[in-house]
């Protein structure tokens, strides 16, 4: 996260990891594993204002702004969504507002997970990407870095 990789490099690494998988089971086991490894969000952050409500599952998203970079932490009550959320954090967290706003996030299509962004899934993932970009936009032009969480 807090390293020197660009967003594209982080996306590339995920695509590379998925290229090793032949079956849907391997892909999902990997995503589930990422979900399990994502550190759970402290309960104090699991409040209404941090909720990105999907129809079925819930995502909580909190941000930090430091040194001109936006940092994300998130959690979900559903494991596969949590794994997908973990990848989004891996890719977007620790970058500037402009970088985040310009991110195309093509890796989601590349690894065959576009269906999770479909409206029928209603899992809050699409809403989460929008919200991450909204935060990035909100931090844009903030001269004095300030902590929000």
Rounded least distance, CB 104 to another protein, Å? 24
Phi, psi torsion values for 4, nearest 5 degrees: -100, 10
- Contact pick of 7, 14, 50, 57 for another protein (by CB under 8 A): 57
Which residue's CB is nearer to another protein, number 32 or number 105?
A: 32
CB 78 within 8 A of CB 122: no
Catalytic site includes residue 23: no
> Could you give the CA distance from residue 113 to residue 63 in angstroms, rounded to a whole number?
25
Q: Tell me the window of 4-12, 23-31, 62-70, 103-111 that interacts with another protein (CB under 8 A).
A: 23-31
Exposure pattern of 72-88 as b/e (b: 16+ CB <10 Å)?
Answer: bbbbbebbbbbbbbbbb
Residue 54 or 94: which CB sits closer to another protein? 54
Contacts of residue 147, Cβ cutoff 8 Å, sequence gap at least 6: 64, 65, 66
**Minimum separation from the CB atom of position 149 to another protein (A):** 25
Q: Which of 70, 125, 73, 80 is nearest to 101 (CA)?
A: 70
The answer to the question of residue 22 lying near another protein (CB under 8 A) is no
C-beta of 63 vs 76, nearer to another protein: 76
86 is a site residue for another protein (CB under 8 A)? no
Q: What does the chain come to in residues?
A: 149
Among the listed residues 34, 81, 87, 89, the single contact to another protein using CB under 8 A: 81
CA distances from 74 to 22, 52, 85, 137 (A): 29, 10, 7, 18
Does 117 engage in binding with another protein (CB under 8 A)?
Answer: no
14 makes contact with another protein (CB under 8 A)? no
Q: Which residues bind another protein (CB under 8 A)?
A: 24-25, 28-29, 32, 55-58, 77-81, 116, 122-123
Residues recognised as catalytic: 55
């Amino acid at each position: 996260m807090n390293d020197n990789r660009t967003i594209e490099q982080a996306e590339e690494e995920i695509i590379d990891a998925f290229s090793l998988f032949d079956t849907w089971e391997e892909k999902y086991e990997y995503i589930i594993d990422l979900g399990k490894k994502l550190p759970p969000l402290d309960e104090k952050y699991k409040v209404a204002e941090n909720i990105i409500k999907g129809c079925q599952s819930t995502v909580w998203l909190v941000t930090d702004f430091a040194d001109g970079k936006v940092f994300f932490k998130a959690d979900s009550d559903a494991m596969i969504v949590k794994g997908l959320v973990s990848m989004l954090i891996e890719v977007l967290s620790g970058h500037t507002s402009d970088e985040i706003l310009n991110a195309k996030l093509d890796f989601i299509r590349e690894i065959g997970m576009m269906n999770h962004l479909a409206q029928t899934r209603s899992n809050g993932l699409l809403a989460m990407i929008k919200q991450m970009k909204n935060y990035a936009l909100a931090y844009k032009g903030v001269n004095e870095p300030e902590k929000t969480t």
